Amino acid sequence: MIERPEKSYDLAVIGAGMAGMAAAIFAAQRGLSCILIGNGGGLLLASGLLDLLAVHPVTQARPWPSPYAALAALARTQPEHPLARIDAPSIRMAFEAFVSALADAGLDYAPLDEHNRSVLTSLGTLKTSFGVPLTMLAGVDALLARAPCLLLDFRGLREFSARQIVSTLGDHWPQLRHQRIDFPGFEAVPEVFAAHLARALEAPQTRARTLARLRPLLGDAHVVGLPAILGLGRSREVHAAFEAGLGLPVFEIPSLPSAVPGLRLLGALEAAVAALGVQRRHPCCLRALKHSDSTALLDLAGGERVRAKSVVLATGRFSGRGLTADRQGVRESLLDLPVQQPASRDLWHQRDFLDPAGHAINRAGLRTDAAWRPLDASGKPAWPNLYAIGSILADQDWMRSQCGSGLSIASAWAAIEQVAQQRCATAVNQR
C-alpha cells in the first residue's frame, strides 16, 4: 500500500456531533485549519431545538424562564458543572456564531434573547428550549395567546397524531382543533414517513395540491400547526410558501426522533463546515492517535497520516462511544483517559429508576483543567494540546437539566478560545 503524503492542520476534532461540529465551525471562523473526524449520526436524533439550560436543580425539576438566570444559579450552587465555568458573554457569542452559521447554510432560527420558550411537542406536552427553529416559532406565540389553531396531520403518518395533541391540551387550549387529510400522491400508501413528505413538499406542484386540500379546513383558525415536514434542505422556502398560500402563520411541531428537524440540522452543519473549508473524514478511518508535547499524529485508513497541533475530543458519552462500560467500570474509549465515576457499579444507579436526583452514572465523564484539557491520573493535563468538550465532560446530567446543546456549543467555544490563544502565543514566541 502506498502511503499518502502527511498533511498538517492546526486542529483535529474527533467526533462530529453537536460539540464537534461547533468546534470545527468556531475554529474555521478564527482562521484555524481543521480536520473533523466523525459521521454526525447522533444529530439525526435531534429535535432541532437548541437547549441552553432549562432545569435547575434537577432534584426539584425547577424550570427557568431565563437560561441566563438559571446559569447564574448553577454557578452559585454547582460550580463544578462545565457550563458554570463559562461566562455568560461567551455563551451568548457562541450561540450567535452557531445559529449564524446555520442561517448561512439555509436553516433559520428565531432571534435569540434572554428567555427560554415553550414549544409544543408531538405528545401534546411542552418543551422548554432556548434556540427555536423559525419554522416552529408561530407555535410559541399561538400557545401563549391560546389563539384559535388548526392542527393538521396526514393519513398513514404514524409518527404524529394531531388528535392526540388536542386530546392532551384541549382543557388548556379550548380553541385547538385537528383535521386529517390524505397527502397528495400518497393516497394509496398505507404508511407514510415524515422525511418522504418533506422531500415531496419541495416540489411546487405538491405544495400547491396540499394547500388546496388544506384551505377549506381553515375555518376560524388564526394559525396552523403541522408535523415537521416543511422541506428538508429547503425548509425556508417551503415554510414561506405555506404561510403565503394560507395567509396565516404556520408552525411545525417536532416529532419523535429520528425526524426531519434532525436531518435538517445535520445537513446544515455539514454544509456549514464544508463552506468554511473544514476537511471531513469518517470515524472508521481513524486507526491510531499518538501525541508528543507539540503535535499529534493521526493514522487514518488508506495510509493517510495527519499531523495536528491540537486535538479536540468530542466523542460523546455511551451512545457516541466516547465512553464504554464493562464490569470493571467506565472507560474513555480512544485514549484510555481517567474517567470520574462512582467507586463501584453498585453506586451507578438509584434504586428508584425515576429518582428525582437522577443516577450517578449520568454524571460520569472526563475532568478537565481551566483550559478544558482532560486530566491524567495525577491530576495534570494528559497532554498540553488535547482538549475535551461536550457530553463526555464530568459533573453534568445534560438530559435532566435540558442543557445538551448549550453544553456542546459553549464548551466548544471555550476550548477553541484556548486553542486560538495558544496558537497566537506560539506564533509570538517563534518570531
The answer to the question of residue 130 being in a domain is yes
Does 258 score more than 70 pLDDT? yes
Neighbouring C-alpha atoms within 13 Å toward the C-beta of 95:
27
Torsion of CA 49, 54, 58, 61, to 10 degrees: -100
Mean pLDDT of 364-374: 97
Query: What's the pLDDT at 429?
Result: 63
Does 356 score more than 60 pLDDT? yes
Q: Are residues 139 and 67 in the same domain?
A: no
CATH of the domain at 80: 3.50.50.60
CB 152 within 8 A of CB 158: no
What total of structural domains would you count in the chain? 2
Dihedrals phi, psi of 244, to nearest 5 degrees? -70, -40
Q: Which of 6, 114, 135 is nearest to 53 (CA)?
A: 114
Query: What's the pLDDT at 90?
Result: 98
Query: What's the pLDDT at 283?
Result: 75
CATH of the domain at 154: 3.40.50
The pLDDT confidence band at residue 257, using thresholds 50, 70 and 90, is confident
Query: What's the pLDDT at 21?
Result: 97
The answer to the question of residue 258 being in a domain is no
The pLDDT confidence band at residue 430, using thresholds 50, 70 and 90, is low
Q: Is the dihedral of CA 237, 241, 247, 250 positive or negative?
A: negative
Q: Are residues 89 and 44 in the same domain?
A: yes
Residue-wise pLDDT for 386-429, tens only, equals 999 999 999 999 999 999 999 999 999 999 999 999 887 766 66
Using the 3D structure, point to which of 192, 222, 253 is the last residue of a domain: 253
- Alpha-carbon distance of 194 to 212, in angstroms, equals 20
Q: Are residues 182 and 271 in the same domain?
A: no
- Alpha-carbon distance of 345 to 361, in angstroms, equals 9
Using the 3D structure, point to which of 232, 253, 274 is the last residue of a domain: 253
- Alpha-carbon distance of 171 to 80, in angstroms, equals 42
Comparing 52-61, 110-119, 351-360, the range with the smallest average pLDDT is: 351-360
CB 251 within 8 A of CB 135: yes
- Secondary structure (3-state) at 180: strand
The answer to the question of residue 126 being in a domain is yes
Domain residue limits at 142: 122-253
Mean pLDDT of 267-286: 92
Residue written as grid cell 475530543:
313
Task: Provide the 10 A C-beta neighbour count for residue 231.
Answer: 26
Mean pLDDT of 216-224: 97
Residue-wise pLDDT for 197-210, tens only, equals 999 999 999 999 99
Query: What's the pLDDT at 289?
Result: 86
Residue-wise pLDDT for 310-348, tens only, equals 999 999 999 888 999 988 899 999 999 999 999 888 888
- Mention every residue, 6+ apart, whose C-beta is less than 8 A from residue 159: 122, 193, 194, 227, 255, 256, 259
CB 364 within 8 A of CB 331: no
Query: What's the pLDDT at 1?
Result: 47
